Amino acid sequence: MDFVKELQDLRYLDWTDKKFSPGTPGCFLKAYEEKDGEKYYYKLSNYDSYRGVFGHECVNELIVSRLLDILKVKHLQYQLIHAIISVDGQEIETYINRSVNFRKETERKQPFDVYYELYREKDEKPLDFACRMGWRDYFERMMTVDYLICNRDRHGANIEILVDENDIARPAPLFDHGVSLLFSCYQDMEEIRRFDVLADRPVQSFIGSRSLEYNLRFLPKDRRIFEVALQETDRNKLLDDLNMVLPEEHLDKIWEMIWGRWERYVQICDQK
């Protein structure tokens, strides 16, 4: 079950861990707990002390998680939870994300930008380095997914490398897609209506360029990236029950973005 609709009492969680992302006017709070031998990670949408929780990044995480399920891309599974929490002494009813630690006990994690600087060859670009390491398919899927969801926050630490006790490295499942879709609209319906879903917005992107559409030029000319194709009928799978959280017009715009960008991606592939 990826969406817990019944209100959960999670006021015991400690939200003191903060993460800031460029281009967002608040911060993203995180919490952790260990239960039944498993480590769980929690995070909030955008938050500040005077507005409380005002973003919808946690909903975006669930939508992207469902999209990656459809496209059969390995990723961190996010669960959306309707919860009451306590932050800065105030009780807040909101929606939060929960995920499970994806690292094996014998693995350590390292940001991709750090790993790249340690092991790159002279004048080797990040994408060339990834290909030399045997990770071409992973990064091609990542760049395509980032285009489909208009991910504005794929900096070098939002890609992780997992290294085992024998120093064998592998990319972690894709994660952290909250700053995507219509994250900046903050329930402003007029802004949502005006939002150009196909605009090539400037992004943080450690791999490739700051243009998501330009990054599609790095994709192969002789094969498709995904095992399966997105279908118009997949809208219901992506957005099922989320009208409890976001207005229907907002959800329509999200689907317009994903489907429009999918069609654009297919068009670019067909031109090669």
Q: Which residues pair with 33 in a beta bridge?
A: 40
Q: Which residues pair with 91 in a beta bridge?
A: 86
pLDDT at res. 83: 98
Distance CA(179)–CA(151), nearest Å, equals 6
Q: Name the burial class of residue 184, with classes exposed (0-12), middle (13-18) and buried (19+) by CB atoms within 10 angstroms of its CB.
A: middle
For strand 90-100 and strand 153-154, is the pairing parallel, antiparallel, or unpaired?
A: unpaired
Which of these, 240, 243, 260, lies nearest to 66 by C-alpha position?
Answer: 240
Chain-centroid distance of CA 198 in Å reads: 18
pLDDT band at 272 (very low <50, low <70, confident <90, very high): low
In this predicted structure, the answer to whether residue 184 has a pLDDT above a threshold of 90 is no
Architecture of domain 108-271: Orthogonal Bundle (1.10)
**In 3-state terms, what secondary structure has residue 26?**
coil
Query: What's the pLDDT tens digit per position in 216-243?
Result: 888 877 677 898 999 999 999 999 999 9
Helix (H) or strand (E) holding 8: strand 3-9
The model's pTM: 0.93
CB count within 10 Å of CB 163 equals: 17
pLDDT at res. 18: 65
Which of these, 225, 77, 260, lies nearest to 145 by C-alpha position?
Answer: 225
Instruction: List the structure tokens of 22.
Output: 């460029």
End-to-end CA gap in the chain: 40
Q: Phi and psi dihedrals of 184, rounded to 5?
A: -85, -5
Please answer whether residues 32 and 39 qualify as being in contact, where contact means their C-beta atoms are separated by less than 8 angstroms. yes
Instruction: List the structure tokens of 207.
Output: 């791999």
Query: What's the pLDDT tens digit per position in 76-95?
Result: 999 999 999 999 889 999 99
The mean predicted confidence, pLDDT, of the chain is 92
Across 135-156, average pLDDT: 95
Q: Please report the DSSP string for 64-111 in residue order.
A: HHHHHHHHT--B---EEEEEEEEETTEEEEEEEEEEE--S-TT-EEEE
Query: What's the pLDDT tens digit per position in 100-129?
Result: 988 888 999 999 999 999 999 999 999 999
pLDDT band at 25 (very low <50, low <70, confident <90, very high): low
Q: Phi and psi dihedrals of 153, rounded to 5?
A: -140, 55
pLDDT at res. 154: 94
Length of the chain: 272
For strand 204-205 and strand 153-154, is the pairing parallel, antiparallel, or unpaired?
A: parallel
pLDDT above 70 covers what percent of the chain? Answer: 96
Query: What's the pLDDT tens digit per position in 247-263?
Result: 999 999 999 999 999 99
pLDDT at res. 51: 86
Amino acid of residue 217: R
CB count within 10 Å of CB 226 equals: 17
Across 184-206, average pLDDT: 90
